Amino acid sequence: MLLHSFVAVIACFSVLIAFFNTRFLNRISSTVGKNTLIDTVTVSVLIPARDEENRISECLQSLISQCSNVTEIIVLDDRSSDATSEIVMAFSEQDSRVRLMTGEELPSGWIGKHWACHQLSLVSEGQYLLFIDADTVLAEDAILFALGKATESNCDLLTFMPRRIAKCVAEKLMFPFIDWAIFCWLPLGQAHKRKNPYLSATYGQFMLFKRFAYEQLGGHSSIRDNAVDDMELGRITKREGLIWNLLDGDGLVTSLPYENNGDALRGISRSVFPALNYHVSLLVAFSTLLLVIAYIPPYNFINEVTSDQFRAGFFSVSLFSLSMLIISWVFVCLRFKHPKYLVLLFPVSITLVVLVAYYSMFANVLKFQSWKDRGISGRRVRL
């Protein structure tokens, strides 16, 4: 009974955090863009791209319609084998702000994307640096809104929670979990008040830095071998006492889908174990907790309903736990526009992510992790 009560408390906390996060995000989002002191602020948009011919057009099309604060849009072609560079060059003929640069050879000890971002930062000139992924599409006023909030709060790093479009089965199952893990377990109000670096979540789809802050942190050079550049840059920002802000990017930032299930599984797996700082013990602890949460409430509920020896206490606790978990997933599916039927599949979503997490660990231990046909060495695994 003690374990069941523990699960009930955990499930209840997930709903409470989701409720307060909803209020917090609604409150701070309503102030975005009201600052009028941004007319002279300049922004460099920096995009690392490797074999992105299927998505870079949508990304650039959304960028050339942004506010006049955007003075340059620089795409680094990281030795693509497709038509990425030709597409970027075509956009540069339409808009002089769009520039193409060719990436230099990857040095030892660097992850490819980080090296690309580092090169982009060296040639940029804006007072703010906006790093986005090549599969990201921005709404027309996204950068203007972000600048308004960043200058209003004197923010050093502002990031948006993106809306993810799911095309394949793996995405449809895993994306709700990713949003649930942040929205129902990270108290955003406290995360913005406290300096604890692990009370943060930063998204590579939209990272708006003050140039001075980015350089003070050491930029991507400081995390050159850490696979989760976005998460780690956010943690370093807070660790250094700088101001970090996370906003709801629904309607502002959209992440395009992966090409297929294999790409989705590989893409997500390269970030899971590094997000836990390569700690095996943390992975085991969190995965055990997740599986307990996923299966004990529905199992006990079904068992009590079908059992000849009905126990009211167990039934009540199981019903409460299951209800709280379902409510937390309803929060997430409504907020982030995931299909409603996925609420009932939350045990499947959790199980798939746990399997991907262990794959991520073994890929790092055995050093066969890769992305875009390029190996990722990663850091030393810790117990």
Arithmetic mean of pLDDT, 116-141: 96
Residues 254-281: tens digit of each pLDDT: 999 998 999 999 999 988 998 898 899 9
Same domain, 244 and 364: no
Same domain, 88 and 175: yes
The four Cα atoms 232, 233, 239, 243 give a dihedral, to 10 degrees, of -140
Domain range holding 14? Answer: 2-19+276-372
Tell which of 259, 291, 310 closes a domain: 259
User: Is 166 part of any domain?
Assistant: yes
Tell which of 229, 259, 289 closes a domain: 259
Backbone phi and psi for residue 101, each to the nearest 5 degrees, phi listed first:
-125, 150
Arithmetic mean of pLDDT, 151-160: 94
Predicted local distance difference test score (pLDDT) of residue 172: 96
User: Is 46 part of any domain?
Assistant: yes
Cα separation, 129 vs 252, whole angstroms: 18
* Residues pairing with 207 in the sheet: 131, 159
Cα separation, 304 vs 306, whole angstroms: 5
Same domain, 194 and 218: yes
Same domain, 226 and 322: no
Same domain, 283 and 201: no
CB 111 within 8 A of CB 376: yes
User: Is 25 part of any domain?
Assistant: no
Task: Classify residue 2 as exposed, middle or buried by CB count within 10 Å of its CB (0-12, 13-18, 19+).
Answer: exposed
Tell which of 259, 290, 321 closes a domain: 259
Same domain, 205 and 105: yes
Q: Which of 159-173, 225-239, 319-333, 365-379 has the lowest mean pLDDT?
A: 365-379
User: Is 382 part of any domain?
Assistant: no
Predicted local distance difference test score (pLDDT) of residue 379: 63
Number of compact structural domains in the chain: 2
Radius of gyration of the chain (CA): 22
Angle at 284 between CA 279 and CA 287, to 5 degrees: 120
State the pTM of this model.
Answer: 0.93
User: Is 268 part of any domain?
Assistant: no
Predicted local distance difference test score (pLDDT) of residue 251: 86
Cα separation, 320 vs 328, whole angstroms: 12
All residues at 6 or more sequence positions from 352 whose CB lies less than 8 Å from its CB, including other chains: 170, 173, 174, 177
Q: And the tokens for 357?
A: 């997490």
Predicted local distance difference test score (pLDDT) of residue 32: 47
Question: Would you place residue 132 in the very low, low, confident or very high pLDDT band (cuts 50, 70, 90)?
Answer: very high
Q: Which of 3-7, 34-38, 164-168, 334-338 has the lowest mean pLDDT?
A: 34-38
Same domain, 298 and 252: no
Same domain, 60 and 193: yes
User: Is 229 part of any domain?
Assistant: yes
User: Is 83 part of any domain?
Assistant: yes
Residues 72-106: tens digit of each pLDDT: 999 999 999 999 999 999 999 999 999 999 999 99
Predicted local distance difference test score (pLDDT) of residue 31: 53
Same domain, 306 and 183: no
Cα separation, 165 vs 63, whole angstroms: 19
Same domain, 210 and 339: no
Same domain, 311 and 239: no
Q: What is the CATH number of the domain that holds 70?
A: 3.90.550.10
Same domain, 133 and 41: yes
User: Is 26 part of any domain?
Assistant: no
